[in-house]
């Protein structure tokens, strides 16, 4: 991957692995936008970006997404992307199906990748952007015990609840990927780099990823 040109890094991760934070720290280091599910959901909700509305906007103007992103969040700096407010705005059409939501998210992710370099967490990025030419796909994993402990600490959950949540989220994410991508999210062949972060700090994991990217340059 050439960081001197427009690039995309996708971060897939197991809940409790710290992958979301690692992705954000990585974006901060690289000085690019960090795109996660909250940004995608907020774009969809606030601007009613259903598949049909996206097609209409695309026909009206070339940089349709730029206006929305600049209104929602300022351009990123090396300090990183700042989360957005969840106040007023249009509600997402409740009649839109899961397939339509996936289609809208796919359009948004592809537009973001075309617009600027970014780090994308989740949203099946490794699959949605499979044809993007300058891209690295990363999967962040950790032992179940470490994931349970982290979830307990981050969410203030008792152990039993943390285990239950991990099980449900793991199953839901696997079903989602298999439905839309037709592969298992645990298949290492989906990714450029699979990283087990047991024994690492988040910053150390970021340095490993940066070293890998540097070698790929």
The residue with tokens 């897939």 is: 12
Both 170 and 146 in a single domain?
yes
Same-domain check for residues 108 and 165: no
For residues 95 and 124, state if they share a domain. Answer: no
Q: Is residue 105 located within the same domain as residue 144?
A: no
The CATH number linked to 27 is 3.40.50.300
End-to-end CA distance of the chain: 5
pTM, two decimal places: 0.75
Q: Is residue 126 domain-shared with residue 209, that is, in the same domain?
A: yes
Say yes or no: 124 and 27 in one domain.
Answer: yes
Q: Are residues 98 and 200 in the same domain?
A: no
Residue 133 sits in the same domain as residue 26: yes
Residue 138 included in any domain: yes
**Can you tell me which residue has the tokens 């009649």?**
95
Block means of pLDDT (10 residues each) for the chain, 217 residues, are 89 94 95 80 62 56 57 48 34 48 75 87 87 94 96 94 93 86 92 96 96 83
Residue 169, in any domain of the structure: yes
Q: How many helices (H) and strands (E) does the chain have?
A: 9, 5
Does 49 lie in the same domain as 7?
no
Range of the domain at 101: 35-73+91-116
Q: Do residues 64 and 124 both lie within one domain?
A: no
CA atoms of 6 and 3, how far apart (whole Å): 7
Whether 85 is in a domain gets the answer no
186 shares a domain with 166: yes
Distance, CA of 84 to chain centre = 15
């Amino acid at each position: 991957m050439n960081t001197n040109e427009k690039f995309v890094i996708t971060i897939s991760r197991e809940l409790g692995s710290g992958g979301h934070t690692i992705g954000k720290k990585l974006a901060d280091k690289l000085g690019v936008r960090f795109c996660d599910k909250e940004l995608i959901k907020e774009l969809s909700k606030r601007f009613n970006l259903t598949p049909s509305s996206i097609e209409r906007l695309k026909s009206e103007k070339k940089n349709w997404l730029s206006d929305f992103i600049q209104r929602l969040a300022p351009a990123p700096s090396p300090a990183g992307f700042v989360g957005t407010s969840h106040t007023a705005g249009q509600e997402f059409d409740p009649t839109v199906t899961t397939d339509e939501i996936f289609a809208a998210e796919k359009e948004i992710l592809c537009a973001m990748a075309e617009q600027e370099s970014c780090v994308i967490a989740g949203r099946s990025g490794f699959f949605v952007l499979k044809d993007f030419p300058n891209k690295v796909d990363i999967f962040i994993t950790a032992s179940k015990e470490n994931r349970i402990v982290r979830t307990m600490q981050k969410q203030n959950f008792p152990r039993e609840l943390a285990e239950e949540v991990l099980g449900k989220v793991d199953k839901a994410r696997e079903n989602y990927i298999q439905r839309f991508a037709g592969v298992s999210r645990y298949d290492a062949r989906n990714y450029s780099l699979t990283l087990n972060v047991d024994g690492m700090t988040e910053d150390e994991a970021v340095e490993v990823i940066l070293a890998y990217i540097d070698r790929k340059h």
